[in-house]
Amino acid sequence: MPRIVTWLATAVMVVAANVIAAPHASAATYTPPALRQRVDLNSGWRFTKGDVAGAEATAFNDSGWQQLSVPHTWNAADGADGGNNYYRGVGWYRRHYTVPASFAGKMLFLQFAGANQVADVWVNGTYLGKHSGGYSRFRFGATSAFKVGQDNVIAVKVNNANNADIPPLSADFTFYGGIYRNVSLQVVDPLAVRMLDSAGPGVYLRQRSVTAASATVDVTTKLFNNSTSSRSVVVRTVVTDAAGNIVADQSLPARTVAANAGVDVVQTVTIADPHRWDGLADPYMYKANVEIRSDGQVTDVVTEPLGLRTFGVDPNTGFTLNGHPYDLHGVNLHQDRAGVGWAVDDTQHTQDFDLIREIGATTIRMAHYQHDQKDYNLADERGLVVWAEIPLVNDTTNSAGYTANARQQMIELIRQNYNHPSIVFWGLGNEQRVDNAATNALLDSLAGLVNTEDPDRVSVYASCCVSDTGAVNNHAEASGYNKYFGWYNGGYNDLGGNLDSLHAANPSRRIALSEYGAGANTTQHALNPAAPSPGGQYHPEEYQALLHEASWKQLDARPYVWGTYVWNMFDFAADARNEGGQPGINDKGLVTRDRVTRKDAFYFYKANWSAAPTLYITSRRWTQRTTAATELKVYSNAASVTATLNGVSLGSRTSADHIFKWTGVTLRAGANTVQVTATVNGTPVTDTVTWNLN
């Protein structure tokens, strides 16, 4: 029996295999009936910062509060002064909503995609409940609290103050507050797929076997009968390909489900000649549509993505996807951006993924918490392999409450994201600062929970700041290490040897480099600079590029490192930092926090990772020069690059590492025009910069 079906210990279990299967060759198409309704509740809110007695009451006067829409955070502009003085505490949100008369007889659920970090919710003064944890989706049943056809008041109290029983307690990023993701009303029939299964989809797709000939998938459906009487129920699963053609169609015999009771149903479907989800090259997806039927009527339909793939992680040869070697090179991603903090909208999420695809990444570590569903959807669609994790960062509390909340957040992460084909790794935590009994007991508990909830994916842990061979590294099935050679310790050429030592000490351990990088301010420059002080105010862009050049050469030569993740794709807010001339910012991103400027190191990776024609002159923002002697350095995936300075040829260069250099270049007083040309796969490309010598 699949472990996924053990989530509801009291549920009745029905297992059926290959019942009423439609042939793969069927030309029939399927369009799921639009039965569920989603009402966007993002607009029309009023907000005030600080705790307010009685603000949950229907008759409370909020006319003086700020008018706004969510996603929203109350400290988007705070915490950027290098100090820990931004507001952490309570904020209140209120809005009115008239429930249409057509919703009479339906079940109503308030859904929040994310609020940091404790949310208490009322409707018309009726308390719906509390959710603790700032990064996962949550829902409250609100049917009895809403008044159909009348005005209703929704009140939400959000508190982002430090709470010893909720991870994370501390981390190297700013803890924003507010309802920073979407809010909606979910409207379903009383006989429907379960809505309150840790806010998961209620339909879970477990891939039992995927070969060239066929794919076998267990479809677990958790349905619930909210009716006042028993119902005769048929569960039908229809799998369609990307064009909407039916490739599997199965129904279970009718069964009776008691009033106010739930049941889990498992069907096993087989898809002939499966088209696989194959990373960047071919992120193909099917859809699994589950219908709930009663008395000849469809009462509910849930549609989930189905990307058929296999994967493996070998301690010596690295990662494989669908049986072939697949190099996992990519970036860490935070949800933060300039101007809005965590209140990122769908267009901004998409821009982030456009940049990640542009650089040629094959994988993303979504640090250090559950991300918005939009990110996981984009990863599915773009073919990016995902490491997802919970916010168990730095310090922990040795308490039952803290352990319970960490486990809750892990369950929410897995159930809400179980069907995303992009997700391969579930992260237990990041950089626990002590390797003691309590920490190891917590990590062991989380590792066991991952294995229970999803035994098919890989648990992983990102280690730093304690011994690499310590016990904290022994719980997950794969190990990540955060290594900052050339920044916080040692030199950047030390990375490869350190990894070799780790591999030699434990050849069966599956090793990834979960973080590496250096800071860079795009307004600070130097020619071949020495390592700057990490906490200092001088972080020249050129040093970051040198570190990444050296690091990637070492990583590319070590196939046993199954994944590599640059820290970070984008600069992000870190209120406790004051360095690099940018207070409150961690500047290790390959792109600036506003997404305007791709740093030099971005193009180094693009030249190495992407097939798109790439030709880029480095130090291009160092436009005002005071020394005539300089170097011209270019990143490109061309075989040969030709350069000119002020119209005079500097000759051509070839390169085996995508780095092209012209040394001994002398600038003249005033403006200097540098131009480089190349041909990549038959496409001519040109880049030009102007440097002024004063």
**Catalytic amino acids?**
431
CA dist 690 and 645 (Å) reads: 10
**158 three-state secondary structure:** strand
Stretch (H or E) spanning 609? helix 600-609
CA dist 365 and 245 (Å) reads: 34
* Burial class for 48, CB neighbours closer than 10 Å (0-12, 13-18, 19+): middle
Type of residue found at 482: N
- CB count within 10 Å of CB 595 equals 18
Angle in degrees, 0-180, between the axes of helices 373-382 and 400-417, rounded to the nearest 10: 40
- Residues 6 or more apart from 594 whose CB is under 8 A from it? 337, 338, 339
Q: How far is CA 36 from CA 192, 303, 390, 418, 484, in A?
A: 9, 11, 30, 21, 49
Phi-psi region of 323 (alpha: psi -120 to 50; beta: other; left: phi over 0): left
> For residues 213 and 272, is the Cβ–Cβ distance under 8 A?
yes
> For residues 19 and 251, is the Cβ–Cβ distance under 8 A?
yes
SS (H, E, C) 447-461: HHHHHHHCCCCEEEE
Angle at 201 between CA 71 and CA 285, to 5 degrees: 95
Q: Which residue has the tokens 């168990």?
A: 392
Angle at 610 between CA 605 and CA 612, to 5 degrees: 125
> For residues 309 and 284, is the Cβ–Cβ distance under 8 A?
no
Q: Which residue has the tokens 């009423």?
A: 20
3-state class percentages of the chain: helix first, strand second, coil last, to nearest 5? 15, 40, 45
Nearest Cα residue to 460 out of 324, 328, 360, 570: 328
Stretch (H or E) spanning 375? helix 373-382
SS (H, E, C) 553-578: HHHHCCCCEEEEEECCCECEEEEEEE
Q: What is the pairing mode between strands 363-366 and 648-654?
A: unpaired
Angle at 122 between CA 161 and CA 61, to 5 degrees: 90
Stretch (H or E) spanning 355? helix 346-359
- CB count within 10 Å of CB 394 equals 20
Stretch (H or E) spanning 584? strand 582-586
CA dist 691 and 694 (Å) reads: 10
- Residues 6 or more apart from 433 whose CB is under 8 A from it? 394, 395, 465, 466
